[in-house]
């Protein structure tokens, strides 16, 4: 909670304040802060914010009990799910859905270092675009800079986790059981790719939600809050 408050204060102040300022320099002069201090504050806030998103998704039920990012049965398997529920095998479908979400929850923490590195590598121009950008400018920055790396990092974790929690076996069992139903047809699917994609979508969704909350908060006490924020940036 303490880190979340620091996050909300710091990025709300920096982002909210510059809405009325045409340049970083103008904002810096008003708050008696250097451009470098403002950028440092933004980086600190982004590190804490992405950390919050990872903490929210990388815990037990982080995906499974969050309706906005819960990984559901793939569309290609909707017919399978309905068919199995119709013959009293709904529990098998539910267990499979749970196992996919557990795999995503286990993989989420792998994004932490990648986000941190992306923040450290942020240029002055990147920071300016984020500060003056849309409600999800920072999230879009992270998508561009980190999606490939996170996908690569997630894939082995999710693949192994899918085996550990039984998702791969359950998927095969689902298909096998469904194919025993007369006239049943289904499509092939790389279930690991599906879960990796959904895990990435869910993580960025949460990063975006954190960013939108911050940008909507008022930033009336600009100077006092900024002093407090940058006072906590000592390493």
Dump pLDDT digits (tens) for 200-220: 999 999 999 988 776 665 342
**pTM score of the predicted model:** 0.77
CB contact at 8 A, 209 and 164: no
Task: Give the separation between CA 124 and CA 155, rounded to whole angstroms.
Answer: 32
What DSSP string describes 53-99? HHHHHSSTTTTTT-TTT-----GGGHHHHHHHHHTT-HHHHHHHHHH
What's the total number of domains in the chain?
1
Instruction: Give the integer Cα–Cα distance in Å for 175 and 107.
Output: 25
Domain extent at residue 220? 2-231
Residue 1's pLDDT band, with cuts at 50, 70 and 90, is: low
pLDDT score, position 78: 84
Q: Considering the chain, what is the average pLDDT of its residues? A: 76
Q: What is the pLDDT of residues 69-78, one digit of tens each?
A: 999 998 878 8
* pLDDT at residue 34, as a whole number: 66
Q: What is the pLDDT of residues 144-175, one digit of tens each?
A: 999 999 999 999 999 888 877 776 777 777 66
Per-residue pLDDT reduced to its tens digit, 29-63? 444 556 777 777 778 778 878 999 999 999 999 99
- The closest of 25, 27, 1 to 15, measured between CA atoms, is 27
Please give the torsion angle defined by the CA atoms of residues 34, 142, 12 and 226, in that order, rounded to the nearest 10 degrees: -30
* Greatest mean pLDDT among 7-11, 19-23, 159-163, 220-224: 159-163
Looking at residue 17, what is its pLDDT? 43
In whole angstroms, give the CA distance from residue 225 to residue 217: 13
């Amino acid at each position: 909670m303490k880190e979340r408050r620091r996050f909300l204060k710091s990025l709300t102040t920096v982002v909210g304040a510059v809405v009325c300022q045409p340049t970083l320099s103008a904002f810096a002069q008003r708050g008696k802060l250097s451009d470098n201090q403002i950028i440092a504050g933004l980086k600190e806030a982004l590190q804490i914010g992405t950390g919050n998103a990872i903490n929210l998704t990388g815990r037990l039920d982080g995906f499974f009990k969050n309706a906005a990012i819960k990984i559901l049965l793939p569309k290609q398997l909707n017919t399978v799910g309905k068919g199995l529920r119709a013959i009293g095998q709904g529990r098998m479908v539910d267990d499979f859905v749970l196992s996919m979400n557990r795999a995503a929850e286990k993989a989420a923490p792998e994004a932490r270092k990648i986000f941190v590195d992306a923040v450290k590598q942020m240029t002055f121009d990147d920071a300016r675009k984020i500060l003056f950008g849309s409600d999800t400018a920072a999230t879009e920055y992270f998508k561009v800079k980190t999606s490939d790396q996170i996908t690569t990092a997630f894939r082995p974790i999710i693949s192994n986790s899918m085996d550990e929690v039984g998702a791969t076996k359950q998927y095969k069992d689902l298909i096998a059981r469904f194919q025993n139903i007369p006239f049943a047809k289904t499509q092939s699917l790389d279930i690991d790719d599906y879960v990796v994609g959904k895990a990435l979508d869910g993580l960025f969704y949460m990063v975006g939600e954190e960013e939108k909350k911050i940008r909507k908060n008022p930033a009336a006490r600009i100077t006092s809050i900024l002093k407090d924020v940058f006072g906590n940036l000592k390493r």
